Amino acid sequence: MAKKYTKKHEVSYYECDINQTMTFPSMLGVVIKTSEDQSDQLGRGSEFVNSFGLTWVITNYSMEINRLPRVGEVISVTTQAMEYNKFFCYRNFWIHDEDGKELVKIESVFVLMDFVNRKMSSVNEEIIAPFESEKIKKIKRQEKIEKIDSGFMLPYRVRFYDIDSNQHVNNAMYFNWIIDVLGYDFLTTHVPEKVIIRFDKEVEYGNEIESHFEQIPIENGVKTKHEIRMQEQLYCEANIIWKNK
Amino acid sequence: MAKKYTKKHEVSYYECDINQTMTFPSMLGVVIKTSEDQSDQLGRGSEFVNSFGLTWVITNYSMEINRLPRVGEVISVTTQAMEYNKFFCYRNFWIHDEDGKELVKIESVFVLMDFVNRKMSSVNEEIIAPFESEKIKKIKRQEKIEKIDSGFMLPYRVRFYDIDSNQHVNNAMYFNWIIDVLGYDFLTTHVPEKVIIRFDKEVEYGNEIESHFEQIPIENGVKTKHEIRMQEQLYCEANIIWKNK
List, in sequence order, the alpha helices (H) in chain B: 24-41, 46-50, 125-128, 174-180, 183-187
What is the complex's ipTM, to 2 decimals?
0.89
- Same fold flag, B2-133 and B150-242: yes
Flag if A159 and B166 touch (Cβ within 8 Å): no
User: Domain locations in chain A?
Assistant: 2-133, 150-242
Chain B residues in contact with A45 (beta carbon < 8 A):
none
Chain A residues in contact with B18 (beta carbon < 8 A):
160, 163-165, 167
CATH topology of domain B150-242: Thiol Ester Dehydrase; Chain A (3.10.129)
| Over residues A94-107, mean pLDDT | 98
Chain B residues in contact with A55 (beta carbon < 8 A):
none
Confidence of residue A178 (pLDDT cuts 50, 70, 90): very high
**What's the first-to-final CA gap in chain B, in angstroms?**
39
Q: Are B173 and B179 in contact (CB under 8 A)?
A: no
Task: Using alpha carbons only, give the angle A238, A241, A242 rounded to the nearest 5 degrees.
Answer: 125
The distance of A139 to chain B (nearest Cα, Å) reads: 30
CA distances from A237 to A45, A179, A218, B45, B77 (A): 29, 12, 20, 41, 40
| Over residues B83-106, mean pLDDT | 97
Chain A residues in contact with B30 (beta carbon < 8 A):
12
* Optimal mutation site among A16, A28, A160, A167, interface B, most CBs of chain B within 10 A: A160
**Measured between alpha carbons, how far is A210 from A230 in angstroms, rounded to an integer?**
6
Flag if B14 and A159 touch (Cβ within 8 Å): no
Residue A36, chain B, CB below 8 Å: the answer is yes
| Over residues A112-135, mean pLDDT | 93
Q: Does domain B2-133 have CATH number 3.60.21.10?
A: no
The per-residue pLDDT for range B142-179, each reduced to its tens digit, is 999 999 998 899 999 999 999 887 778 889 999 999 99
**% of residues, chain B, pLDDT over 70:** 100
The distance of A158 to chain B (nearest Cα, Å) reads: 10
Flag if A184 and B172 touch (Cβ within 8 Å): no
Q: What is the pTM of this model?
A: 0.93
